[in-house]
Structure 1
Amino acid sequence: MTNSANYAIIGFGKIGQALAKAFARKGIKVAVATTRDPESFTSDAAAIGPEIIATTLADAVKADVIFLAVRFAAHRDVAKALPNWEGKIIVDVTNAYGVPPEQMNGLPSAKFVAQAFTGGKLVKGFNHLGAAILEQNPSVHGGRRVVYLASDDEAAAAEIGALAEDLGFVPVKLGGLAEGGLLVQAHGNTWGQLIFQDLVKFKS
């Protein structure tokens, strides 16, 4: 691993479980939590691997890097778990498909989500692939699967890029949330241009 940060995934639906499988594949410990009692999904977490630790939301948000893998509408409920997210990186894996743009005050979805996490550094990423693809080994035909990252904080984007490498992916940085974020977001009834684009990078 490239750093000593500790990790958590909030949300344990198809995307949360796909992310957990990516961590387990590389032997990287990660906490998983939902708004439910962890006993309700402890066995599912254990079935993925010993590195996947079912815990409470209150404990999960103590991590340095938090993957937000909940329904878009639930991001505010997660944000209420802490009064301030300073010093933490939130990886926004949500998709706002079906959410009218006016409900987001005309903002890119990632910027709208970022507003809820006071003091935190938000990176949009890992959301452009469906769970069935995301959970697969990113080593494909001698290449590695690409994940897109967008953030207004270069250091946070670099840290998540390093983690993506640790997980076996190739990170491609798209710039800030207002520019790159638009390429990997859902808005109303439209998808960003890079959503579902399953790209693989081969050694040159």
Structure 2
Amino acid sequence: MTLRDTEKLVRAAVRAGVTDRAVLEAVRAVPRSAFVPCERAEEAYRDAPVPIPRGMVTTQPSLVARMVEALALTGAEHVLEVGTGYGYQTALLACLSGDVISVERLPDLADRARANLDGQGIANVEVVVGDGTEGVPSRAPYDAVLVSAAFPTVPEPLVGQLRTGGRLVQPIGPGGVEDVTVFERTSAGLVRRGHVCPASFVRLHGRHGYH
């Protein structure tokens, strides 16, 4: 990887509307080629999804940057991520927060993500195998939650584990055509605060998602 490689993704994020300097620096610092299958490394610096095992794909980098920016992280937050994949988004969150608990339902993907993160010396992340719709209650409350799969509503356990004043970003929809939305937990419950962008995501599977 060269700085020129990651600059391509920085420029893509800027074109997509990302303005947060800390987010752009994280995109510049994290080598996406370390978070895709080895045989796909030359595709890593295109602003496009990359196939990974189990019929999954990584999220487009500029979309990752927009979703992360919507959390408005300041550097000290305790973050819950639902859907680790190969760990690229996890790595960006780790650069921008205090620590990250990331839940992946597929053990082989979780193992790969751990290896990828360890390979980059990223130590403030814990990857957990489990049902992301249940969150990780033993580590709650969270200052921010980022969900990387689609469901028409926010799973109630995730709402309950988000502290008052915390933000949650999730693609809202049936899977395939979504409205990526940012919410805030208030004393009255979860309140929609804005629209991030339209997107296409895989479905959110679990007890409080699709079965």
Q: What TM-score comes out, normalization by structure 1 length? A: 0.39
Q: Per chain length, whose mean CA-contact separation is higher, i.e. which structure has more relative contact order (CA < 8 Å, sep 6+)? A: 1
Q: What TM-score comes out, normalization by structure 2 length? A: 0.38
